[in-house]
Chains A and B, each alone.
Chain A
């Protein structure tokens, strides 16, 4: 395989990026005094305007932490560093109070667990209306109308009546739609979705994915979609970011990354997802990802990687652009210790 190496991913913010994250690191206090556990390290990626970026990786790779870091909800004693641009504006320097205004206006979260996101004691319509009112400041009647309209928009039948229902009177799929309506109530530019369909049955999930994608298109939103399910990522995303042990190991357009993965970990994830012929063995990656605090120097994937070299064990591979994707793996970047120079302007990627 011949690869063209095109140098470092752009550090600057492209005008067409709605969200640009650069060098984001998140750490939380560990068990010992002064010990910090690094959950995310030097994460750089972007979400294009009107596009959907999926974040994939095994559990513990830092997917949810990434969303929490963006929403500043990691928790007490945590440290989040790095730059975040939202819609061209740097938001990493905002004070918490100013930032809180963004949460739920420019960006909104669609939570995994609909039951936990909804208040069991109030009709779902009122919960959507409350958020709409908080966002637009309109009166009760207007916000109630907005709520009914949104419940209809997320495909709930008879939205007038559904609005009166309590969460437990609805099915799982319907509750997930209510949670989506709540996220939409503030007219976000960016939807952050954390495994929003994982708890749903497969047919319900397919409908929910179709709905999410349709609304994203219709409302011109961008979406950052966290999932452990590659099939789901392949279905909803335009771009994909592969996380391993708190770092980005590969990213690029979803079709490129999933049809010809470069990083051995991405390849391993895909192999483990392909059922073998009857009687044949599954192609497991083997082993499990390291816990934060137990990550070796060099490439964190080395203990599970068939292609690991001595360099892999001592030197951390940097993200390097290879064609349309960026990848962090010595074996794919010719053991280049440092990323190569950027390509001459106008050079065509292969």
Chain B
């Protein structure tokens, strides 16, 4: 994928300071100088274990949090440093699909209200009902679902609503933070197909944040591996996942069991059970 980077982060640092119950100070360096670049229409996977800084990075990329130092350029403009109308325009361009479909939707809000709310926040005055209907078509849900509440939807349906909510602002870039991790693989497959279709239809740029090495090369062209706030490896997703060079990436890939490549665990050499040939 070529083209100018629509999203570029340089030297992003973020440290969290907190106090524990006994009043002791703690500092967590969540990001320690992260660089990344995503070309227009491209896709970048950010892979790492919990605590590696993935969600912190996601929040900074979409402007929900500010870096301590470093820059994030969106469409050539320094996003965290921007203000006023410039910031609002940039804000619309980049949207997040959140981690947990069960918690990120307000249980008391109908799907329509959730979508209208997101729509109004980004485009006050525009025709919200029309936009809601378009979104439902886009995520392949029946229009009648607009009047339903989250608890009456399945996990996969809720995640479709989440996607609709992110897309109603018509962003160029979506940041998906563990967007399919809570779903069964069978449902995951549907949602990942939908994401791929939407990327093509809407020419979206995707930042796909996940702890799941398994899906990376099928979903993204490029990958960046995060470990304790540092980028330990980056490159083409297919290459890195098939043939990682960093020790950490290698450990990560080797530890992920798949049906075709199970982990080699101890297999008890107990006598075979009578009647069950082995």
Residues of A participating in the B interface, judged by any CB pair closer than 8 Å: 10, 14-17, 48-51, 58-59, 172, 201-206, 209-210, 213-214, 216-217, 228-232, 234-236, 238-239, 252-253, 258, 268-270, 272-278, 280-286, 288, 324, 349
Contact = CB atoms under 8 A, between A and B. Distances in A.
B265 A209 contact: yes
B58 interface: no
Most buried by A among B49, B211, B260, B275: B275
A214 B265 CA distance: 8
CB-CB nearest 4 A-B residue pairs? A231-B257, A284-B189, A282-B189, A50-B270
Most buried by B among A14, A209, A252, A284: A284
B186 A268 contact: yes
A281 B193 contact: yes
A95 B259 CA distance: 41
9 contacts: A201-B50, A213-B266, A213-B267, A231-B261, A231-B263, A235-B262, A273-B259, A277-B218, A285-B186
Interface string B160-191: 00000000000000000000000011111110
B252 interface: yes
B259 A238 contact: no
A235 B218 contact: no
A235 B267 CA distance: 9
A11 to B, nearest CB: 12
Interface of B: 49-50, 154-156, 184-190, 192-193, 196, 211-215, 217-218, 221, 237-238, 251-252, 254-268, 270-271, 273-278
A14 B264 CA distance: 29
Given A206-B257, A231-B259, A269-B186, A15 B274 contact: yes
A280 B218 contact: yes
B59 to A, nearest CB: 20
A217 B211 CA distance: 30
A325 B258 CA distance: 22
Given A51-B268, A275-B215, A284-B193, A206 B276 contact: no
Contacts of B192: 282
Most buried by B among A15, A201, A252: A201
Contacts of A50: 268, 270
A274 B263 contact: no
Given A236-B265, A281-B193, A230 B185 contact: yes
B211 A278 contact: no
Contact of B276 (A48, A216, A231): A48
A286 B213 contact: no
Given A17-B273, A216-B268, A269 B185 contact: yes
Contacts of B256: 202, 206, 231
A88 to B, nearest CB: 14
Contacts of B189: 272, 282-285
Given A201-B49, A288-B154, A235 B273 contact: no
A284 B255 contact: no
A120 to B, nearest CB: 11
Nearest to A17: B273
Contacts of B266: 210, 213-214, 217
A269 B265 CA distance: 22
B255 A14 contact: no
A49 B270 contact: yes
Contacts of A232: 257
Contacts of A48: 270, 273, 276
